[in-house]
């Protein structure tokens, strides 16, 4: 009979080991899935995890790692702050869309003016857009006690409809021959989020993501606010006795995660995506939730997890074209990763003991 015994202290070792074990288990389970789909599992796993980094065309794929990892890391860093304090913003996808709409809207409104101030203005608008969108669930929670999970998620669907409306209406390219979608910001130098160093995939969004990692690390390790966030998550009652204001914490965590998601949306729409179109969002806001957990809600962990998840996106694309592996298989793969992670996490807080039935 297997029995769980609570550890006096969470195990440091298992806390670090869990993500690794989860990734390996997911590879095995994923291999079985690919085999069930009639693909050679070893080739599939190699195509996803090895080829983008060291394969024949790695020079093309490596920059993609930063392009795809940047937004994931940026969003996940914001989410992790709230998740640590038990504040669940799961509507990052919506905040990402609104950030992109506000930022791109500001840029498109000034077209065809050229000025160095346009891009900073767009960044500001993207940040504010995402933040305000996230403030809706935060303020409703404070004022009326609504559940932020449900409200933030409902707002994703609202944001998607707004995106459709904007790309078919207000922001539609007047010279686009009636096709949906805005002007391409890549053709508008003042608004283009271009690569900082050609050929590396490094753009302003990736740089911002790295800065966010450092800021989050310092905040959680050295700053009172970071301490309060951790305290609220681990011992809510103690936090209240300690004078932590839960309302301010909710506003901060929701606002910060919304702002970062909005930034991610703006950098994407002004850079790699280029234009506001009905389906420019590809679910980074949801995948970032997996990234945040896989990174153990720790800034450095999130950095690594974001890059790994970016790798599965790129590898998934390659496997889709070379092995005709369905794109949904990668989505399943990412979902499995979160499952295994949560399952193995039990080892951090509990010890598994084999006990004779009835003896205990």
How many residues are present in the chain? 360
Determine, following the binding rule CB under 8 A, whether residue 90 of this chain makes contact with another protein. Answer: yes
DSSP string across 132-184: HHHHHHHHHHHHH---HHHHHHHHHHHHHHHHHHHHHTTTS-TTSTT-SS---
DSSP characters for 294-329? HTTT-HHHHHHHHHHHHHHHHHHHHHHHHS---HHH
Q: If binding is defined by CB under 8 A, does position 79 make contact with another protein?
A: no
Query: Exactly one of 96, 204, 267, 286 binds another protein (CB under 8 A); which one?
Result: 286
SS3 6: strand
Number of residues that bind another protein (CB under 8 A): 48
Nearer to another protein, 129 or 271 (CB): 129
Q: Which stretch binds another protein (CB under 8 A): 97-105, 107-115, 119-127, 327-335?
A: 327-335
Q: Using CB under 8 A, which of 150, 235, 238, 300 touches another protein?
A: 150
Quote the distance between the C-alpha of residue 279 and its chain's center.
17
Q: How far is CA 324 from the centre of its chain?
A: 26
Residue of 109, 184, 339, 351 interacting with another protein (CB under 8 A): 339
Scanning 72-80, 104-112, 242-250, 340-348 for contacts with another protein by CB under 8 A, the matching segment is: 340-348
What span, in angstroms and rounded, lies between the C-alpha atoms of 267 and 251? Answer: 24
What angle separates helix 118-144 from helix 92-110, to the nearest 10 degrees? 140
d(Cα 80, Cα 220) in Å, to the nearest integer?
11
* C-beta of 61 vs 293, nearer to another protein: 293
161 near another protein (CB under 8 A): yes
Q: Say how far apart CA 65 and CA 285 lie, in whole Å.
A: 17
Q: How far apart are CA 40 and CA 34, in angstroms?
A: 7
Task: Supply the minimum distance, in Å, between the C-beta of residue 164 and another protein.
Answer: 5
Residues 12-51 that bind another protein (CB under 8 A): none
Task: At 98, list the tokens.
Answer: 């609104």
The reply on whether position 158 binds another protein by CB under 8 A is yes
Residue 342 in the binding site for another protein (CB under 8 A): yes
Q: How far is the CB of 237 from another protein (least distance, A)?
A: 14
Residues that bind another protein (CB under 8 A): 4-6, 88, 90, 140, 144-147, 149-151, 153-155, 157-158, 161-162, 164-165, 168-169, 286, 289-290, 293, 326-336, 338-339, 342-346, 349-350
């Amino acid at each position: 009979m297997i029995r769980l015994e609570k550890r006096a202290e969470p195990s440091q070792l298992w806390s670090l080991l869990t993500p690794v074990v989860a990734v390996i288990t997911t590879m095995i389970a994923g291999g079985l899935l690919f085999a069930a789909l009639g693909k050679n599992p070893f080739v599939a796993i190699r195509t996803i995890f090895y080829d983008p980094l060291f394969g024949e065309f790695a020079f093309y794929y490596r920059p993609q790692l930063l392009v795809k990892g940047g937004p994931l890391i940026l969003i996940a860093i914001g989410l992790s702050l709230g998740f640590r304090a038990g504040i669940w913003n799961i509507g990052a996808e919506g905040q990402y869309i609104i950030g992109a709409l506000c930022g791109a809207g500001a840029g498109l409104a000034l077209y065809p003016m050229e000025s160095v101030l346009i891009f900073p203005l767009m960044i500001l608008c993207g940040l504010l857009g995402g933040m305000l969108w996230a403030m809706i669930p935060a303020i409703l929670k404070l004022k009326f006690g609504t559940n932020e999970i449900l409200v933030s998620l409902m707002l994703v669907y609202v944001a998607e409809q707004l995106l459709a409306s904007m790309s078919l209406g207000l922001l539609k390219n007047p010279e686009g021959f009636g096709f949906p979608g805005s002007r391409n910001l890549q053709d508008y130098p003042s608004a283009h989020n271009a690569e900082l160093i050609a050929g590396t995939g490094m753009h302003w969004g990736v740089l911002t993501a790295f800065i966010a990692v450092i800021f989050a690390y310092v905040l959680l390790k050295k700053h009172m606010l970071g301490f309060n966030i951790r305290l609220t998550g681990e011992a809510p009652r103690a936090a209240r006795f300690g004078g932590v204001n839960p309302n301010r914490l909710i506003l901060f965590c929701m606002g910060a995660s919304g702002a970062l998601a909005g930034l991610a949306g703006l950098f994407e729409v002004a850079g790699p995506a280029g234009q506001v179109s009905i389906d420019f969002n590809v679910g980074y806001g949801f995948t970032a939730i997996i990234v945040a957990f896989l990174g153990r809600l720790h800034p450095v962990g999130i950095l690594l997890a974001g890059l790994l998840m970016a790798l599965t996106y790129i590898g998934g694309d390659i496997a889709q074209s070379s092995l005709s592996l369905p794109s949904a298989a990668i989505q399943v793969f990412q979902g499995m990763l979160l499952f295994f992670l949560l399952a193995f996490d039990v080892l951090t807080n509990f010890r598994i003991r084999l006990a004779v039935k009835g003896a205990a």
